[in-house]
A and B are shown apart, each in its own frame.
Chain A
Amino acid sequence: MGERVVRFLLPVVGVVFLLVVWAVLSANVQDLPSPMKTWQESKIYILSPFEKRGEMDQGIVRLASYSLFRVAKGFLLGIVIATPLGFILGLSKTFNRMFDPVIQVLRPISPLAWLPLGLIIFQKSEPAALFTIALCSMWPTVLNTIAGVRTIPQEYRNVARVLRLSKFQTFTKVLLPATLPHVFTGYRLSLGIAWLVIVASEMLTGTPGVGGFLWQEYNSLIYAHILLCILTIGVVGFLLDRMMGFVEMRLRSI
């Protein structure tokens, strides 16, 4: 019994500590609202999370869900491109040598640099955001898939050769199951980046969503809502990661 209480208590202590730090900081920094003030001004968004009072004045769940839909679309687009790409690069030395320098250069490019390009190409903010999300979030999946293919034990490849499996069967029965855990690690990291990118792109383009709301409230000088957004972004990101982690764990035990 004692151990359970301690286990529950410790994270609570951590959170309380953070609130105290926040309260102290807000007492000393002029524009930073205190936890209490943040709660009072944000209550309405949390307590009626599904309400829509205006385009940019909606409940927190509604705002978060707009962002999540965009993330889902961009993320899926990203992994649909990244997964086969990762396999091809992992399996074919020629292909790898052809495109490795290109990938190494594209990889570190920040979403904020891709977004204007997306706007030029697609003219509208929604497809531009999806373009940016896909392009930024695909790299962990590509790299993890390549790593997964490269680390398939020679033993399993020998089985495929000894049984004289066709190329298709070798792929579906041996290569794919062997690399699946790595691929899902890639998906998990990609999802994290996709969530990050959507907030940035919403801030830049002002589309309705958590990021858009954050930037709008900053411009309207309602700072308590900025903190609300920050917290929401953190909590949703955490939940997404947990969800993917759960899927990953189920796969590893197969």
Chain B
Amino acid sequence: MAFVEVRNVSKSFASAGKVRDVLSGVCLSVEEREFVSIVGSTGSGKSTLISILAGLLRPDAGTVTVGGENVQGIHPHASVVFQNYSLLPWFSALENVRLAVQAAFPDWQRARQVEQAQRYLETVGLGGAVQKRPGQLSGGMRQRVAIARAFATNPRLLFLDEPFSALDALTRATLQQVLAQLCTEAGNSATVIMITNNLDEALLLSDQIVPMTRGPRSKLGTPIPVRLPRPRTDAQLLHDPTAVRTRAEVVERLAEFVHEGQSGPRPTAKIRSVAEAKAVEEQL
């Protein structure tokens, strides 16, 4: 059995008399230390899925197991990075991260907690801003703090819910590299599940890309492997022949998946041009 095993998870929400079936029969297997990206369009229930995986929500049906055990609330060695930072505004960046470290390692001395927090804030490039409050930081900096907070607890499991979609393209590119670096750092053994709507981001960071159908009753498709060594760079993805081929393959598989979802299975057609590839991406 895989490290993270999701079997037939379904979730519905009832509001004002109407019932929305968000997820239906979602299945996923993630091996330890893998980086898996779930790619899907808006409204497909991605946030709901990651909330269930992280233990914030309970599914109506199906099971989620981590290391063989059923998920009951937040896993003790899990960290979550939300789309909108979720930092406590009345504490400094350092205190926000230290709070997480303290909760994960309650028997550490305070000085050691501070040192750990400081170290991760420096790794994400915020060494000079540790005493600032979130209100004094830009969006990109706040998300760096959120990432530092997630990694400072040495998590075994990391959930990222569209962590960069609220940021501009340049900041996004920088933070993707920060994340890639933290994931491949020596001694880092985290299993990562990330939700994203950006295919390039998924290609840059993941070992497997899993497509998600549009709602309602969303499901996950067959995972598409990305067999390139990590860490990767944007330049590499554009120029390295293996990388380019892998990218084309991924786009093709996604196109199949999207078309299948819309109008039933059809004979596979190779992507013939860059324009066609872009059209497929835009559908996501």
What residues of chain A have their CB less than 8 Å away from a CB belonging to chain B? 155-156, 158-159, 161-165, 169, 173-174, 177-178, 254
Contacts and interface: CB of A to CB of B under 8 A. Distances in A.
Contacts of B88: 156, 159, 173-174, 177
A248 to B, nearest CB: 15
Nearest to A251: B90
B76 A164 contact: yes
Contact of A163 (B73, B82, B90, B103): B103
Nearest to A154: B86
Contacts of A159: 86-88
Contacts of B82: 155, 158
Interface in B71-87: 73-74, 76, 79-80, 82, 84, 86-87
A178 B99 CA distance: 16
B99 A164 contact: no
A165 B103 contact: yes
Interface residues of B toward A: which range? 10 to 19
A163 B84 contact: no
B160 interface: no
A155 to B, nearest CB: 5
Given A173-B88, A177-B90, A161 B100 contact: no
Contacts of B76: 164
Interchain residue pairs A-B with the least CB separation, the first 10: A177-B90, A162-B80, A163-B103, A155-B86, A159-B86, A163-B100, A164-B74, A164-B103, A165-B103, A254-B90
Contact of A158 (B56, B73, B90, B91): B56
B86 A161 contact: no
A161 B87 CA distance: 13
Contacts of A162: 54, 56, 74, 79-80, 86
Nearest to A253: B135
Contacts of A169: 103
B120 to A, nearest CB: 15
Nearest to A176: B90
A161 B90 contact: no
Contacts of B73: 161, 164
B192 to A, nearest CB: 15
Given A156-B86, A162-B80, A164-B103, 16 more contacts: A155-B84, A155-B86, A156-B88, A158-B82, A159-B86, A159-B88, A162-B56, A163-B103, A163-B104, A164-B74, A164-B76, A165-B99, A169-B103, A173-B91, A174-B88, A177-B90
B103 A161 contact: no
A162 B103 CA distance: 10
Contacts of A155: 82, 84, 86
Contacts of B74: 161-162, 164
Nearest to B84: A155
A177 B92 CA distance: 13
A254 B136 CA distance: 12
A161 B78 CA distance: 11
Contacts of A177: 88, 90
Most A CB within 10 A of own CB, among B54, B86, B104 = B86
Contacts of B84: 155
A156 B91 CA distance: 12
A169 B104 CA distance: 13
A162 B86 CA distance: 10
Interface string B21-54: 0000000000000000000000000000000001
